[in-house]
Amino acid sequence: MVQYSRLFSVQGQRACVIGAGSGIGREIAQGLAAWGADVVCADRDVDAARETSSLCRAQRPLSAAEYIDVTDPEQVREAPERFGHPQILVHTAAMNVRRRILDYRDDELEKVTSLNLTGTFRVLQAFGGSMVERGRGSMVFLSSIRARVVEPGQGVYGATKAGLESLVRSAASEFSTRGVRVNAIAPGVVTTPLTQQVQSDPGWFRNYAAQSALGRWAEPSELVGAAVYLASDAASYVTGSVLAVDGGWTAIDGGTSELHTP
């Protein structure tokens, strides 16, 4: 008999959150710890990862902090073993350079694609291989509404997120029969360090809020439920999916949340 009260439990599982030092990653790490996982908080900013780990240890004393730079292929290859072969992987690390296509520089293109797309592939390959070998696992990657709807200056970022979603579907087709599920979450606008440029402009901030059905920005904590769901047995028949957590932004095609009459 299914114990529905335990559907969302990840009790005793080892989880790794890459990008756990701040924003969405920090909140997801705490959420997984609250539901029973021992969380490896991994980040390029290891001091920030330690801060997150200390928050997780209040729930799960075996949680730890680790350094990782996903643009370093050797580090990523060694990470699954170094982190104790996690059964849950949440990858949130990303960056954005807001610049129109004709103005984009080669070094900016390299930085964004190296982290957002190449880094994602390396993480998918390394941790996916570890999970496939052991016949169990759940992988969750952070995409974005920008994989579907873009605006001037978001072309490269959007392309990397569209590529991420394609990799998620491909990995699901290859890994799922081996006991490993692969999914993504596509947030809308969230109050994180990545969106600080927009938050600092009151007009820009209000305009973004108005484009979702809920008429507001998300807090990082509002992504936790989706991540725990996809990581847990509650999503045991979910793989190759992209779960939109965007306040209805894509549902209303990025239009205003308010009705205007002529």
Active site residues: 157
Instruction: Give the pair of three-digit tokens for residue 163.
Output: 């590529």
Q: How far is CA 148 from the centre of its chain?
A: 16
Can you say whether the dihedral through the CA atoms of 139, 144, 148, 152 is positive or negative?
negative
**Cβ-count burial 169-189 (b if 16+ within 10 Å, e if not):** bebbeebeeeebbbbbbbbbb
The position carrying tokens 């969106």 is: 195
CB atoms within 10 A of CB 36: 17
Backbone angles phi, psi at 141, to 5 degrees: -115, 145
**SS3 track for 75-103:** HHHHHHHHCCCCCEEEECCCCCCCCCHHH
Asked if 167 and 139 count as a contact pair (C-beta separation under 8 A), the reply is no
- 194: three-class secondary structure by DSSP: helix
Asked if 115 and 169 count as a contact pair (C-beta separation under 8 A), the reply is no
Distance, CA of 104 to CA of 213 (rounded, Å): 32
